Structure 1
Amino acid sequence: MEIVVTGRHTQIRQKFRDVVESKMNRVTAIAPDAQRAQIVLTHEGNPRQADTARRVEITIIAGSTVVRAEASSTDEFSALDMALDKLTLRLRRTRDRRKNHRRGYINPMPVDMGVATPVEDKTSDEVNTSPQAAVASDLGPGESVEVQVGDTPIVIRRKLHIAEPMSIDEALYEMELIGHDFFLFVNKETKRPSVVYHRHGWSYGVFEIDTPENVRKDDED
């Protein structure tokens, strides 16, 4: 498995790289088909956020499946351990779901989210100067662009994912894998862009988006 360690607003120490490589056997033990592990370490410079100054994001790519987890702590090593705990739990869910499929249950095809690429620090010449420029730029599958809005701390990130239409159940499964509170997908029943999201407990919600023109056309038909 290829292991890539990068830093945002921080330098990666060799000791951290060594610890990452030694602990990746937890991943290969659960997901021997994992092809790539991407670890991004981010440093938060705000002293008011000292308790979460180090954030570790781990993305595992195994075929067309992408599993992701992140955690923050006072140091990168404890953040790594917490992120790995979350990641291995999601990997076990994926493995168990495959086992259920072999026993006769339906296993939805996972969405191909593309190769996750870290957003590296850019010089002023490389960064777009407005949100409009970021939205207007052309992106390839898996590519992303990040811009800062003027002198504010607001950062807008845009990324292109290529995905086959899926059911709501499949979208919920993918949302759990990447550890987000929401998941954007194309509903294969309605063909509409949709979002599933956590509400509370085991309750979920679904938003679907359409244009007035399409809605009127469906009513006419």
Structure 2
Amino acid sequence: MRTIVKGKNIEITPALRSYATKKTSKLEKFFEDGPEVSCEVMMRVERELDIVEITLQVNGVLMRGEEKTEDMYASIDGAVEKVERQIRKFKTKYLNRLQGGPKLGELRPAVEEKNAGAPRIVRTKRFALKPMSTDEAVMQMELLGHSFFVFRNAATQEVNVVYRRQDGNYGLIEPE
């Protein structure tokens, strides 16, 4: 596993780097035979809080954990635990799907809502769209903890969006 430790508003001491590398290396046990795993640990200090974000990328699947405490070492521990829970959840869902377990419900098209005001765009994010199935996109959205996920549908090669509905089901937005 390739681990990169970075800092923002903080100098990464050798002890912090060593501790973060040691803790994240324990995640390797989940990926014994093979896939290329890259891990990025971002440490930062904001308003007297020590924040650690751990992003793990395994075969194009992202898993992310963030923890905010008053101690950087405790933040590292918490973020590693969150990523470990995501790995376990992902592996359980993946194995269930391989063994013919229950599939996610059918995705329904989105209902358009009218915007009352004219909000500003305050942030732009660019990323590569990996072709995947709708089930994979829903799983990726859940692992990232987002309410929606943009992806390239492997079946149609079109850009689609899956999102979590208020009733707990999922929706799919497709171009006409």
Q: Which has the higher contact order (CA 8 A, sep 6+)?
A: 2
| Residue number in structure 1 paired with 2:88 | 92
Tell me what 2:37 maps to.
Answer: 35
1:86 partner amino acid: K
CA contact 2:148–2:161 (8 Å) conserved in 1: no
Structure with the greater alpha carbon radius of gyration:
1
Percent sequence identity is 22
- Give the alignment of 1:64-143 within 5 angstroms: 64-105=60-101
Q: Cα 1:88–1:198, aligned 2, differ >3 Å: closer, same or farther?
A: farther
CA distance in 2, matches of 1:27, 1:198: 32
User: Equivalent residue for 1:127?
Assistant: none
What is the TM-score normalised by the length of structure 1?
0.59
- Give 1:171 shift: 2.1
1:156-199 per-position Cα deviation (integer Å, ceiling 9, x unaligned): 352222221532x3322111222333322345579453241364
Task: Look up the SS of the partner of 1:158 in the other structure.
Answer: coil
Q: Which residue of 2 aligns with 1:208?
A: 173
Tell whether 2:58 aligns with 1:62: yes
Alpha-carbon distance between aligned partners in 2 of 1:8 and 1:204, rounded to the nearest angstrom: 38
State whether residues 56 and 71 of structure 1, in contact with CA within 8 Å, keep that contact through their aligned partners in structure 2.
yes
Gaps of 5+ in 2: 105-120
* Number of residue pairs aligned between Structure 1 and Structure 2: 157
Match of 1:158 in 2: 125
